[in-house]
Structure 1
Amino acid sequence: MRRRLGADRRTDTGLTLVELLIAMGIAALIATLAGSLFVASTHSVSLAQSIDNGTRQGSNGMNEMARMVRAATPNPLANPTPGGAQNDPAFVSATATSVLFYAFVNLSGAESPVKVQFAVVNGQLVESQWKATTTTAGTNGHWDFNTSATPDLKRTLCGSIPSSVVVFQYFDASGAPLTLPISTLSAIASITITITIQPTGAASAVTLTNSVGMSNIGSGS
Protein backbone atom coordinates (compact mmCIF):
# COMPACT_ATOMS: atom_id res chain seq x y z
CA MET A 1 0.00 0.00 0.00
CA ARG A 2 2.80 2.48 0.91
CA ARG A 3 4.73 1.70 -2.24
CA ARG A 4 1.57 2.34 -4.34
CA LEU A 5 0.94 5.76 -2.63
CA GLY A 6 4.56 6.80 -3.15
CA ALA A 7 4.35 5.94 -6.85
CA ASP A 8 1.15 8.01 -7.17
CA ARG A 9 2.87 11.04 -5.61
CA ARG A 10 5.83 10.78 -7.99
CA THR A 11 3.56 10.73 -11.07
CA ASP A 12 1.37 13.71 -9.92
CA THR A 13 4.01 16.37 -10.65
CA GLY A 14 1.85 18.92 -12.75
CA LEU A 15 3.29 21.19 -15.52
CA THR A 16 6.97 21.80 -15.80
CA LEU A 17 8.35 25.32 -16.43
CA VAL A 18 9.18 24.44 -20.03
CA GLU A 19 5.66 23.20 -20.68
CA LEU A 20 4.22 26.37 -19.13
CA LEU A 21 6.42 28.60 -21.31
CA ILE A 22 5.42 26.69 -24.43
CA ALA A 23 1.73 27.04 -23.55
CA MET A 24 2.15 30.79 -22.95
CA GLY A 25 3.96 31.16 -26.26
CA ILE A 26 1.21 29.37 -28.15
CA ALA A 27 -1.44 31.53 -26.44
CA ALA A 28 0.49 34.70 -27.34
CA LEU A 29 0.80 33.57 -30.96
CA ILE A 30 -2.94 32.88 -31.19
CA ALA A 31 -3.70 36.31 -29.66
CA THR A 32 -1.36 38.00 -32.16
CA LEU A 33 -2.95 36.23 -35.11
CA ALA A 34 -6.44 37.10 -33.88
CA GLY A 35 -5.44 40.76 -33.44
CA SER A 36 -3.92 40.90 -36.93
CA LEU A 37 -7.05 39.35 -38.42
CA PHE A 38 -9.23 41.90 -36.62
CA VAL A 39 -7.11 44.83 -37.83
CA ALA A 40 -7.13 43.51 -41.41
CA SER A 41 -10.90 43.00 -41.33
CA THR A 42 -11.46 46.49 -39.94
CA HIS A 43 -9.22 48.00 -42.63
CA SER A 44 -11.07 46.09 -45.37
CA VAL A 45 -14.44 47.28 -44.13
CA SER A 46 -13.20 50.89 -43.86
CA LEU A 47 -11.71 50.75 -47.37
CA ALA A 48 -14.92 49.30 -48.82
CA GLN A 49 -16.94 52.08 -47.18
CA SER A 50 -14.52 54.72 -48.53
CA ILE A 51 -14.81 53.35 -52.08
CA ASP A 52 -18.60 53.10 -51.78
CA ASN A 53 -18.87 56.69 -50.51
CA GLY A 54 -16.58 57.93 -53.29
CA THR A 55 -18.60 56.12 -55.94
CA ARG A 56 -21.89 57.44 -54.54
CA GLN A 57 -20.56 61.03 -54.44
CA GLY A 58 -19.21 60.75 -57.96
CA SER A 59 -22.50 59.34 -59.25
CA ASN A 60 -24.54 62.12 -57.62
CA GLY A 61 -22.15 64.76 -58.95
CA MET A 62 -22.28 63.27 -62.45
CA ASN A 63 -26.09 63.24 -62.44
CA GLU A 64 -26.24 66.90 -61.44
CA MET A 65 -23.70 68.02 -64.04
CA ALA A 66 -25.34 66.01 -66.83
CA ARG A 67 -28.75 67.46 -65.95
CA MET A 68 -27.49 71.03 -66.09
CA VAL A 69 -25.24 70.64 -69.15
CA ARG A 70 -28.12 69.13 -71.16
CA ALA A 71 -30.04 72.34 -70.49
CA ALA A 72 -27.24 74.61 -71.77
CA THR A 73 -28.82 77.22 -74.08
CA PRO A 74 -27.56 80.33 -75.91
CA ASN A 75 -28.78 83.61 -74.44
CA PRO A 76 -30.53 85.79 -77.06
CA LEU A 77 -28.91 89.20 -77.58
CA ALA A 78 -31.06 92.15 -76.56
CA ASN A 79 -29.98 94.15 -79.62
CA PRO A 80 -28.54 91.79 -82.24
CA THR A 81 -26.84 93.20 -85.31
CA PRO A 82 -28.86 92.53 -88.49
CA GLY A 83 -27.22 89.67 -90.31
CA GLY A 84 -24.96 88.98 -87.34
CA ALA A 85 -25.10 86.69 -84.35
CA GLN A 86 -28.47 86.54 -82.63
CA ASN A 87 -27.29 84.94 -79.39
CA ASP A 88 -24.53 84.86 -76.88
CA PRO A 89 -23.06 81.33 -76.95
CA ALA A 90 -24.37 78.94 -74.32
CA PHE A 91 -20.84 78.62 -72.95
CA VAL A 92 -19.17 81.61 -71.36
CA SER A 93 -15.87 79.82 -70.63
CA ALA A 94 -14.55 76.28 -71.00
CA THR A 95 -11.36 74.72 -69.61
CA ALA A 96 -10.22 71.24 -68.61
CA THR A 97 -11.27 71.76 -64.98
CA SER A 98 -14.09 74.31 -65.17
CA VAL A 99 -17.04 75.27 -67.35
CA LEU A 100 -19.42 78.26 -67.19
CA PHE A 101 -22.65 78.35 -69.17
CA TYR A 102 -26.30 79.45 -69.33
CA ALA A 103 -28.80 76.73 -68.38
CA PHE A 104 -32.48 77.07 -69.15
CA VAL A 105 -33.79 74.50 -66.65
CA ASN A 106 -37.48 73.90 -65.95
CA LEU A 107 -38.64 77.23 -67.36
CA SER A 108 -42.22 77.23 -66.17
CA GLY A 109 -44.16 79.67 -64.04
CA ALA A 110 -41.87 82.06 -62.18
CA GLU A 111 -38.68 80.03 -62.73
CA SER A 112 -35.82 81.69 -64.60
CA PRO A 113 -32.65 80.39 -66.24
CA VAL A 114 -29.38 80.36 -64.34
CA LYS A 115 -25.73 80.84 -65.13
CA VAL A 116 -23.91 77.74 -63.89
CA GLN A 117 -20.27 76.95 -63.19
CA PHE A 118 -18.72 73.59 -62.39
CA ALA A 119 -15.11 73.86 -61.26
CA VAL A 120 -12.46 71.86 -59.43
CA VAL A 121 -11.38 73.90 -56.38
CA ASN A 122 -8.75 72.48 -54.03
CA GLY A 123 -9.57 68.90 -54.98
CA GLN A 124 -13.33 69.40 -54.74
CA LEU A 125 -15.86 69.64 -57.55
CA VAL A 126 -17.95 72.74 -56.80
CA GLU A 127 -21.20 73.91 -58.40
CA SER A 128 -22.02 77.65 -58.42
CA GLN A 129 -25.19 79.28 -59.77
CA TRP A 130 -26.13 82.88 -60.52
CA LYS A 131 -29.82 83.60 -60.96
CA ALA A 132 -31.41 85.77 -63.64
CA THR A 133 -32.21 89.25 -62.36
CA THR A 134 -35.85 89.00 -63.48
CA THR A 135 -38.50 86.30 -63.74
CA THR A 136 -39.36 87.19 -67.34
CA ALA A 137 -37.14 87.57 -70.38
CA GLY A 138 -36.25 91.06 -71.60
CA THR A 139 -35.97 92.47 -75.10
CA ASN A 140 -35.68 89.79 -77.76
CA GLY A 141 -35.86 87.09 -75.10
CA HIS A 142 -32.58 88.24 -73.50
CA TRP A 143 -31.81 87.40 -69.87
CA ASP A 144 -29.57 89.37 -67.52
CA PHE A 145 -27.85 87.57 -64.67
CA ASN A 146 -26.42 88.42 -61.28
CA THR A 147 -22.83 89.56 -61.97
CA SER A 148 -21.63 89.38 -58.36
CA ALA A 149 -18.52 87.34 -57.68
CA THR A 150 -20.52 85.64 -54.94
CA PRO A 151 -22.97 83.11 -56.47
CA ASP A 152 -26.56 82.75 -55.35
CA LEU A 153 -25.93 79.05 -54.79
CA LYS A 154 -22.67 77.24 -54.07
CA ARG A 155 -22.24 73.61 -53.10
CA THR A 156 -19.66 70.84 -53.21
CA LEU A 157 -20.67 67.88 -55.35
CA CYS A 158 -17.78 65.56 -54.52
CA GLY A 159 -14.23 65.62 -53.20
CA SER A 160 -10.92 63.74 -53.31
CA ILE A 161 -10.30 64.66 -56.97
CA PRO A 162 -6.60 64.20 -57.84
CA SER A 163 -4.69 67.27 -59.00
CA SER A 164 -4.14 67.90 -62.73
CA VAL A 165 -7.10 65.68 -63.65
CA VAL A 166 -9.04 66.48 -66.84
CA VAL A 167 -12.75 66.74 -66.01
CA PHE A 168 -14.17 68.33 -69.18
CA GLN A 169 -13.48 67.52 -72.83
CA TYR A 170 -15.31 69.38 -75.57
CA PHE A 171 -16.50 68.25 -79.01
CA ASP A 172 -18.10 69.95 -82.02
CA ALA A 173 -21.24 68.87 -83.89
CA SER A 174 -19.27 66.32 -85.94
CA GLY A 175 -17.86 64.70 -82.81
CA ALA A 176 -14.36 66.06 -83.36
CA PRO A 177 -12.51 67.12 -80.20
CA LEU A 178 -11.96 70.85 -79.67
CA THR A 179 -8.49 71.94 -78.64
CA LEU A 180 -8.12 74.15 -75.60
CA PRO A 181 -8.24 77.09 -75.39
CA ILE A 182 -11.44 77.17 -77.46
CA SER A 183 -11.67 80.38 -79.45
CA THR A 184 -15.20 79.78 -80.78
CA LEU A 185 -17.32 78.72 -77.82
CA SER A 186 -20.41 78.34 -79.97
CA ALA A 187 -18.70 75.33 -81.62
CA ILE A 188 -19.20 73.25 -78.45
CA ALA A 189 -21.93 70.69 -79.15
CA SER A 190 -21.20 68.05 -76.52
CA ILE A 191 -19.07 67.52 -73.44
CA THR A 192 -17.44 64.41 -72.04
CA ILE A 193 -17.36 64.64 -68.26
CA THR A 194 -14.90 62.49 -66.32
CA ILE A 195 -15.02 62.39 -62.53
CA THR A 196 -12.01 60.74 -60.92
CA ILE A 197 -12.11 60.25 -57.16
CA GLN A 198 -9.26 58.87 -55.05
CA PRO A 199 -10.87 57.21 -52.01
CA THR A 200 -8.82 57.36 -48.81
CA GLY A 201 -6.61 54.28 -48.51
CA ALA A 202 -7.50 52.88 -51.94
CA ALA A 203 -4.70 51.90 -54.30
CA SER A 204 -6.66 52.90 -57.41
CA ALA A 205 -9.11 55.71 -58.13
CA VAL A 206 -12.80 55.49 -58.97
CA THR A 207 -13.54 56.96 -62.43
CA LEU A 208 -16.94 57.79 -63.92
CA THR A 209 -17.36 59.06 -67.50
CA ASN A 210 -20.40 60.43 -69.31
CA SER A 211 -20.82 62.10 -72.70
CA VAL A 212 -23.53 64.75 -72.64
CA GLY A 213 -25.17 66.32 -75.69
CA MET A 214 -27.08 69.60 -75.69
CA SER A 215 -30.27 69.75 -77.74
CA ASN A 216 -30.79 73.49 -77.07
CA ILE A 217 -27.51 74.59 -78.66
CA GLY A 218 -28.28 77.03 -81.47
CA SER A 219 -26.23 79.24 -83.73
CA GLY A 220 -24.92 81.73 -81.18
CA SER A 221 -21.38 82.95 -81.80
Structure 2
Amino acid sequence: MSRPVSITARIRARLRHASHDDAGISLSELIITMMVASIVLTIASSMFVTIAQSTTASNQARDAATVAGTASNSIGRAIRSAVQVTKPDGKLAAAVVAGTASSVTLTTLVMPASSTTLSPVQIRYTIVNGALIEETWTGSNSTGFWVFTGAATRTKSLGSTIVLPTGSDAPIFSYLDGNGAPMTIAASGLTDAQRKDVSSIDLTLRVRSSSSTKAKPIIIDTTIGMPNLGYSGDDS
Protein backbone atom coordinates (compact mmCIF):
# COMPACT_ATOMS: atom_id res chain seq x y z
CA MET A 1 0.00 0.00 0.00
CA SER A 2 1.58 3.29 -1.15
CA ARG A 3 1.83 6.26 1.17
CA PRO A 4 0.08 9.49 0.09
CA VAL A 5 2.39 12.20 -1.28
CA SER A 6 2.37 15.31 0.89
CA ILE A 7 1.73 18.79 -0.48
CA THR A 8 5.26 19.82 0.49
CA ALA A 9 6.72 16.98 -1.55
CA ARG A 10 4.65 17.98 -4.56
CA ILE A 11 5.89 21.58 -4.37
CA ARG A 12 9.51 20.44 -4.09
CA ALA A 13 9.06 18.17 -7.11
CA ARG A 14 7.69 21.05 -9.20
CA LEU A 15 10.54 23.33 -8.16
CA ARG A 16 13.15 20.68 -9.10
CA HIS A 17 11.46 20.33 -12.50
CA ALA A 18 11.45 24.07 -13.06
CA SER A 19 15.09 24.42 -12.09
CA HIS A 20 16.07 21.96 -14.82
CA ASP A 21 13.82 23.59 -17.50
CA ASP A 22 16.18 25.84 -19.47
CA ALA A 23 14.09 26.09 -22.65
CA GLY A 24 13.53 29.91 -22.06
CA ILE A 25 11.75 32.19 -24.60
CA SER A 26 11.83 31.33 -28.27
CA LEU A 27 13.09 33.77 -30.92
CA SER A 28 9.63 34.19 -32.42
CA GLU A 29 8.19 35.05 -29.00
CA LEU A 30 10.94 37.63 -28.47
CA ILE A 31 10.29 39.24 -31.87
CA ILE A 32 6.54 39.42 -31.22
CA THR A 33 7.15 40.96 -27.80
CA MET A 34 9.45 43.59 -29.30
CA MET A 35 6.89 44.41 -32.02
CA VAL A 36 4.12 44.84 -29.49
CA ALA A 37 6.33 47.04 -27.33
CA SER A 38 7.25 49.13 -30.36
CA ILE A 39 3.59 49.65 -31.26
CA VAL A 40 2.74 50.67 -27.70
CA LEU A 41 5.65 53.14 -27.61
CA THR A 42 4.60 54.62 -30.97
CA ILE A 43 1.03 55.14 -29.77
CA ALA A 44 2.22 56.68 -26.50
CA SER A 45 4.63 59.02 -28.33
CA SER A 46 1.92 60.12 -30.76
CA MET A 47 -0.45 60.88 -27.88
CA PHE A 48 2.26 62.88 -26.09
CA VAL A 49 3.03 64.96 -29.21
CA THR A 50 -0.69 65.62 -29.80
CA ILE A 51 -1.25 66.72 -26.22
CA ALA A 52 1.87 68.93 -26.30
CA GLN A 53 0.76 70.58 -29.57
CA SER A 54 -2.75 71.12 -28.24
CA THR A 55 -1.41 72.68 -25.04
CA THR A 56 0.92 74.97 -26.97
CA ALA A 57 -1.87 76.10 -29.32
CA SER A 58 -4.16 76.75 -26.35
CA ASN A 59 -1.52 78.85 -24.59
CA GLN A 60 -0.82 80.83 -27.76
CA ALA A 61 -4.52 81.51 -28.31
CA ARG A 62 -4.92 82.62 -24.69
CA ASP A 63 -1.97 85.01 -24.94
CA ALA A 64 -3.28 86.53 -28.18
CA ALA A 65 -6.80 86.83 -26.78
CA THR A 66 -5.50 88.66 -23.70
CA VAL A 67 -3.65 91.22 -25.82
CA ALA A 68 -6.61 91.62 -28.19
CA GLY A 69 -9.04 92.09 -25.31
CA THR A 70 -6.89 94.68 -23.54
CA ALA A 71 -6.32 96.64 -26.75
CA SER A 72 -9.96 96.62 -27.84
CA ASN A 73 -11.12 97.69 -24.37
CA SER A 74 -8.75 100.67 -24.36
CA ILE A 75 -9.75 101.77 -27.85
CA GLY A 76 -13.43 101.17 -27.12
CA ARG A 77 -13.39 103.40 -24.03
CA ALA A 78 -11.74 106.22 -25.98
CA ILE A 79 -14.22 105.98 -28.85
CA ARG A 80 -17.29 105.78 -26.62
CA SER A 81 -16.06 108.82 -24.65
CA ALA A 82 -15.23 110.89 -27.75
CA VAL A 83 -16.55 114.46 -27.62
CA GLN A 84 -16.67 117.62 -29.71
CA VAL A 85 -14.88 120.51 -28.04
CA THR A 86 -15.85 124.12 -28.65
CA LYS A 87 -13.55 126.12 -30.93
CA PRO A 88 -12.78 129.85 -30.47
CA ASP A 89 -15.38 130.64 -33.15
CA GLY A 90 -18.03 128.99 -30.96
CA LYS A 91 -18.51 125.99 -33.22
CA LEU A 92 -17.91 122.38 -32.18
CA ALA A 93 -14.83 120.66 -33.55
CA ALA A 94 -15.22 117.12 -34.86
CA ALA A 95 -14.57 114.42 -32.25
CA VAL A 96 -12.46 112.56 -34.81
CA VAL A 97 -9.38 114.72 -35.29
CA ALA A 98 -7.91 112.43 -37.97
CA GLY A 99 -8.70 108.98 -39.29
CA THR A 100 -7.19 106.48 -41.70
CA ALA A 101 -7.55 102.74 -42.15
CA SER A 102 -4.77 102.06 -39.63
CA SER A 103 -4.81 105.11 -37.36
CA VAL A 104 -7.33 107.28 -35.54
CA THR A 105 -7.02 110.41 -33.40
CA LEU A 106 -9.88 111.37 -31.10
CA THR A 107 -10.80 114.07 -28.64
CA THR A 108 -12.18 112.12 -25.71
CA LEU A 109 -12.98 112.50 -22.01
CA VAL A 110 -11.07 111.09 -19.07
CA MET A 111 -11.23 111.71 -15.34
CA PRO A 112 -7.78 112.22 -13.79
CA ALA A 113 -7.18 110.43 -10.51
CA SER A 114 -6.65 113.73 -8.70
CA SER A 115 -9.83 115.33 -10.08
CA THR A 116 -13.58 114.95 -9.73
CA THR A 117 -14.35 116.47 -13.14
CA LEU A 118 -13.96 115.18 -16.67
CA SER A 119 -11.26 116.71 -18.84
CA PRO A 120 -10.87 116.27 -22.60
CA VAL A 121 -7.68 114.76 -23.99
CA GLN A 122 -6.58 113.76 -27.46
CA ILE A 123 -5.65 110.13 -28.02
CA ARG A 124 -4.10 108.62 -31.12
CA TYR A 125 -3.97 104.92 -31.95
CA THR A 126 -1.61 103.81 -34.67
CA ILE A 127 0.37 100.75 -35.76
CA VAL A 128 4.17 100.97 -35.66
CA ASN A 129 6.11 97.87 -36.75
CA GLY A 130 3.30 95.59 -35.65
CA ALA A 131 2.79 97.35 -32.33
CA LEU A 132 -0.42 99.16 -31.42
CA ILE A 133 0.68 102.48 -29.92
CA GLU A 134 -1.52 104.72 -27.79
CA GLU A 135 -0.43 108.37 -27.52
CA THR A 136 -2.19 110.85 -25.25
CA TRP A 137 -2.11 114.64 -25.27
CA THR A 138 -3.33 116.43 -22.15
CA GLY A 139 -5.41 119.49 -22.98
CA SER A 140 -5.06 122.97 -21.58
CA ASN A 141 -7.91 125.42 -21.17
CA SER A 142 -6.87 128.58 -22.99
CA THR A 143 -9.32 131.48 -22.59
CA GLY A 144 -12.17 129.02 -22.22
CA PHE A 145 -11.20 126.74 -25.11
CA TRP A 146 -9.32 123.44 -24.97
CA VAL A 147 -6.12 123.18 -26.99
CA PHE A 148 -3.75 120.27 -27.52
CA THR A 149 -0.22 121.11 -28.57
CA GLY A 150 3.31 119.80 -28.29
CA ALA A 151 4.53 116.26 -27.84
CA ALA A 152 2.36 113.50 -26.43
CA THR A 153 2.32 113.49 -22.63
CA ARG A 154 2.04 109.71 -22.49
CA THR A 155 2.88 106.89 -24.90
CA LYS A 156 2.37 103.19 -24.35
CA SER A 157 2.14 99.98 -26.36
CA LEU A 158 -1.08 97.97 -26.22
CA GLY A 159 0.45 94.96 -27.97
CA SER A 160 3.35 94.21 -30.29
CA THR A 161 1.87 91.37 -32.38
CA ILE A 162 -0.80 93.14 -34.42
CA VAL A 163 -1.33 91.54 -37.84
CA LEU A 164 -1.95 94.07 -40.58
CA PRO A 165 -4.83 93.39 -42.99
CA THR A 166 -4.02 92.11 -46.46
CA GLY A 167 -6.03 91.64 -49.62
CA SER A 168 -9.76 91.77 -48.90
CA ASP A 169 -9.31 91.89 -45.10
CA ALA A 170 -11.28 94.58 -43.30
CA PRO A 171 -9.13 97.57 -42.24
CA ILE A 172 -8.33 98.09 -38.59
CA PHE A 173 -10.51 101.21 -38.48
CA SER A 174 -13.66 101.69 -40.56
CA TYR A 175 -15.89 104.74 -40.14
CA LEU A 176 -19.68 104.84 -40.23
CA ASP A 177 -21.78 107.92 -40.88
CA GLY A 178 -24.93 109.09 -39.09
CA ASN A 179 -27.01 106.54 -41.02
CA GLY A 180 -24.68 103.68 -40.11
CA ALA A 181 -23.29 103.44 -43.63
CA PRO A 182 -19.56 102.76 -44.13
CA MET A 183 -17.53 105.69 -45.42
CA THR A 184 -15.19 105.38 -48.37
CA ILE A 185 -11.99 107.13 -47.38
CA ALA A 186 -8.90 108.05 -49.35
CA ALA A 187 -5.43 106.81 -48.45
CA SER A 188 -4.77 110.20 -46.87
CA GLY A 189 -7.69 109.70 -44.49
CA LEU A 190 -11.04 111.25 -43.68
CA THR A 191 -11.99 114.60 -45.14
CA ASP A 192 -13.19 117.43 -42.88
CA ALA A 193 -16.79 116.73 -43.89
CA GLN A 194 -16.41 113.01 -43.18
CA ARG A 195 -14.83 113.62 -39.76
CA LYS A 196 -17.85 115.67 -38.72
CA ASP A 197 -20.22 112.93 -39.89
CA VAL A 198 -18.60 109.97 -38.11
CA SER A 199 -21.02 108.50 -35.57
CA SER A 200 -19.39 105.12 -34.91
CA ILE A 201 -16.18 103.27 -35.69
CA ASP A 202 -15.75 99.62 -36.61
CA LEU A 203 -12.63 98.11 -35.05
CA THR A 204 -11.08 94.95 -36.49
CA LEU A 205 -8.05 93.71 -34.58
CA ARG A 206 -5.99 90.68 -35.56
CA VAL A 207 -3.55 89.66 -32.85
CA ARG A 208 -1.04 86.81 -33.02
CA SER A 209 0.72 85.16 -30.10
CA SER A 210 4.16 86.56 -29.35
CA SER A 211 5.57 83.02 -29.08
CA SER A 212 4.84 81.99 -32.67
CA THR A 213 4.65 83.82 -35.98
CA LYS A 214 2.79 80.87 -37.53
CA ALA A 215 -0.04 80.72 -35.00
CA LYS A 216 -3.50 81.65 -36.26
CA PRO A 217 -4.36 85.19 -35.08
CA ILE A 218 -7.24 86.03 -32.78
CA ILE A 219 -9.71 88.40 -34.50
CA ILE A 220 -11.90 90.94 -32.72
CA ASP A 221 -14.45 92.76 -34.86
CA THR A 222 -16.73 95.22 -33.08
CA THR A 223 -18.62 98.40 -33.89
CA ILE A 224 -18.27 101.12 -31.25
CA GLY A 225 -20.74 103.96 -31.01
CA MET A 226 -20.01 107.56 -30.01
CA PRO A 227 -22.91 108.56 -27.74
CA ASN A 228 -21.31 111.78 -26.43
CA LEU A 229 -21.30 113.67 -29.73
CA GLY A 230 -22.72 117.12 -29.14
CA TYR A 231 -21.33 117.35 -25.61
CA SER A 232 -18.62 120.00 -25.42
CA GLY A 233 -16.57 118.33 -22.69
CA ASP A 234 -16.75 121.44 -20.53
CA ASP A 235 -17.84 120.60 -16.97
CA SER A 236 -16.97 124.03 -15.58
| TM-score, with structure 2 as normaliser | 0.74
Percent sequence identity is: 28
CA shift for structure 1 position 77? 1.6
Which one-letter code corresponds to 1:37 in the other structure? M
1:61 to 62, 68, 71: 71
Instruction: Report SS of the residue matched to 1:143.
Output: strand
Contact 1:168 1:194 in 2 (8 A): yes
Residue in structure 2 matched with residue 123 of structure 1 by the alignment: 130
CA distance in 1: counterparts of 2:175 and 2:19, whole angstroms: 93
CA shift for structure 1 position 110? 6.9
Matches within 5 A, 1:72-221: 72-78=82-88, 80=89, 86-106=91-111, 108-109=115-116, 112-132=119-139, 134=140, 137-139=141-143, 141-148=144-151, 151-164=152-165, 166-181=171-186, 182-183=190-191, 184=193, 185-199=195-209, 200=212, 204-218=216-230
Which one-letter code corresponds to 1:76 in the other structure? T
CA displacement, residues 13-45 of structure 1 (integer Å, 9 cap, x when unaligned): 101334323323322332232122112101101
Instruction: Report SS of the residue matched to 2:122.
Output: strand
CA distance in 1: counterparts of 2:164 and 2:223, whole angstroms: 22
Range that drifts further, 154-163 or 91-100: 154-163
Which one-letter code corresponds to 1:138 in the other structure? S
CA displacement, residues 135-186 of structure 1 (integer Å, 9 cap, x when unaligned): xx222x31122422xx322222234332235111101111121111321211
CA shift for structure 1 position 58? 1.4
CA displacement, residues 99-119 of structure 1 (integer Å, 9 cap, x when unaligned): 011112237547632210111
| TM-score, with structure 1 as normaliser | 0.79
Which one-letter code corresponds to 2:183 in the other structure? L
* Structure 1 gap ranges (5+): 1-6
CA shift for structure 1 position 191? 0.7
CA distance in 1: counterparts of 2:164 and 2:176, whole angstroms: 23
CA shift for structure 1 position 9? 8.2
1:71 to 62, 70, 81: 81
Residue in structure 1 matched with residue 9 of structure 2 by the alignment: none
How many equivalent pairs are there?
A: 206
Instruction: Say whether residues 1:45 and 2:45 are aligned partners.
Output: no
CA distance in 1: counterparts of 2:71 and 2:34, whole angstroms: 55
CA shift for structure 1 position 211? 1.5
Residue in structure 2 matched with residue 33 of structure 1 by the alignment: 43
CA, structure 1 residues 8+212, in 2 after alignment: closer, same or farther (shift >3 Å)?
Answer: closer
CA displacement, residues 82-139 of structure 1 (integer Å, 9 cap, x when unaligned): xxx713322221011110111122375476322101112222322121222x3xx222
Instruction: Report SS of the residue matched to 1:59.
Output: helix
CA distance in 2: counterparts of 1:26 and 1:104, whole angstroms: 70
- Larger Rg computed on CA atoms: 2
4+ residue runs of structure 1 moved beyond 3 angstroms?
A: 7-12, 107-112, 198-205
Give me the CA root mean square deviation: 3.1
Instruction: Report SS of the residue matched to 1:26.
Output: helix
* Structure 2 gap ranges (5+): 1-16
CA distance in 2: counterparts of 1:8 and 1:101, whole angstroms: 92
CA distance in 2: counterparts of 1:112 and 1:122, whole angstroms: 31
